[in-house]
Chain A
Amino acid sequence: MTAAIPQPSRTYDLSFARWVRENVKGGDKMNLCMQCGVCAGSCPIGNEMDNGPRKTFMMVRAGMKEEVLSSSTLWNCTSCYRCYVRCPRGIPVTSIIQGLAAVAAKEGYAPKQKVENYYFSKAFWWSAEKFGKTDERLVTMKYFFSFGLSEGIKKALDNLKVALGMIKAGRMHIGLPHTIKNKSQLKAIVAKAKELEQKG
């Protein structure tokens, strides 16, 4: 990401919209939006979103940075890409919502709200970075326990039967995590990528 996110001041302030245009993947296409609502109408769990993609785009234009980045819309995208392929103006809707979610995570909006996706993605990334692979079992446990010990135990017990079925079918790995061979190489690559992203 490049320059700091501006704090819009006037009633009609395009600075946030311009920032999104420059810094979020697909953001350069957002000004093509004609507010038709095909995206929101195509969303499988739009009922879980406060604003939905159509309204989110208008809010970006209106400079509503705080509202956009603390919106539940960003955390309920299933990445089904229905909106993306249906948009009559060819706007990569999914990419923009995901890009805004990444910004909201980075800027601290997600942890403040205790967003599930945030914890899940952190648990997921922990495994990817540490082992080079996703250990579905450890990611799930780490995610469960990010809500505290008692909640973690409850969630783990709720899923015990499913887990046992998976173990029986040989689909839940037992023992040490699978890892890539060259972990130090991956670590260096990811560290460099993080540094470059920080620099913008």
Chain B
Amino acid sequence: MSEKMKFTYYPGCSSEATGRHLDESTRAVFPELGIEVQDIEDWNCCGASIGHIGGGPLPQLALNARNLANAKKNGNEHVFTSCAACYLNTHGSNLTIRDDEKKRELANEALKAGGMDGYEGDLKVHHAMEVLVNFVGMDKIAERATNKLEGLKVAGWVGCQTVRPFAETDDGGNYDTYEEPHFLDDITKACGAEAVDYEPKTNCCGGSVAVMKPEKTLHLMKLLLEEAEKAGADVISTPCPLCQTNLEMYQEAINKKYGTNFNIPVVFPQQLMAVAFGMDPQKDAALHRNTIRAEKLEKMAKK
């Protein structure tokens, strides 16, 4: 393989707990596609979608400024993350610091209080999926996928923040559309699996509201499962760690509330790729970390 492109990587908090399988499969797959992954030194939490309430907008910006200032030390132009909320906050804060002089000054004053150099907003922050579309390309994924996932039916569920509100912007790399994104199905196909028609592709699972008050959002997740079942999907593939955890862990509550019988595995596209690349099903694809095991996918893995 030609020389690897170096990217700074922001794993985010879920990478050490509920989203470990996303982190592990990302670290396995990206180098195979020519992307060298270098962590941000001593990274911290981005504040997710509620930091502005708990701490306030400027403290949340300061959290992200610290990460970006530390990312700068790696000397790479590009930063990426696999987590939707991390992307939203890191990318959004990067643009704020770049474009809003007043906010930049405030953020830098906060960094100075921690003995850090200022940050000017000159890095480029990407979502892992955008990196696959704009820097790697589907051809390269298809070429590397030597263990084609033939016969596996995959419902591609993009969710929200992976594409909204940045996928159709210049700064977001114009990598897909908000309403009908196709990158996820493209990855499925590049892995040799079948991308079934999945209407609620960009529907919301309830995000953090699902975590704090599941009753309010179980019907949203029920629809996501119903449509996957109707389409005959073996697995649902989603790029978002919160989407994956929510849809997996609430299936039992949904079955209890609605008298249904769902038991549909929810995996990450990185896990599909790891299996399609013929990599280790545990160490690389982390399939043992799915609480609803993707048995059909596991059988396809090279032992």
Contacts and interface: CB of A to CB of B under 8 A. Distances in A.
A191 to B, nearest CB: 7
Given A171-B17, A194-B56, A125 B51 contact: yes
Contacts of A118: 53
Interface residues of B, number: 68
Contacts of B45: 127-128, 132-134
B206 A78 contact: yes
Nearest to B100: A25
B221 to A, nearest CB: 11
B53 A102 contact: yes
A117 B18 contact: no
Contacts of B82: none
A50 to B, nearest CB: 14
Given A102-B52, A185-B114, A193-B59, A78 B207 contact: yes
Interface stretch (B148-156, B160-168, B261-269): B160-168
A172 B17 contact: yes
A36 interface: no
A99 B213 CA distance: 21
A81 B16 contact: no
B144 to A, nearest CB: 27
Given A125-B50, A170-B20, A190-B55, 16 more contacts: A44-B203, A44-B204, A45-B206, A76-B216, A82-B204, A85-B165, A85-B168, A94-B165, A122-B54, A136-B18, A173-B16, A189-B65, A189-B66, A189-B116, A192-B110, A193-B56
Interface of B: 13-14, 16-21, 42-45, 47-59, 61-63, 65-66, 88, 106-107, 109-116, 160-161, 164-165, 168, 178, 202-204, 206-213, 216-217, 220, 245, 249, 252, 288-291
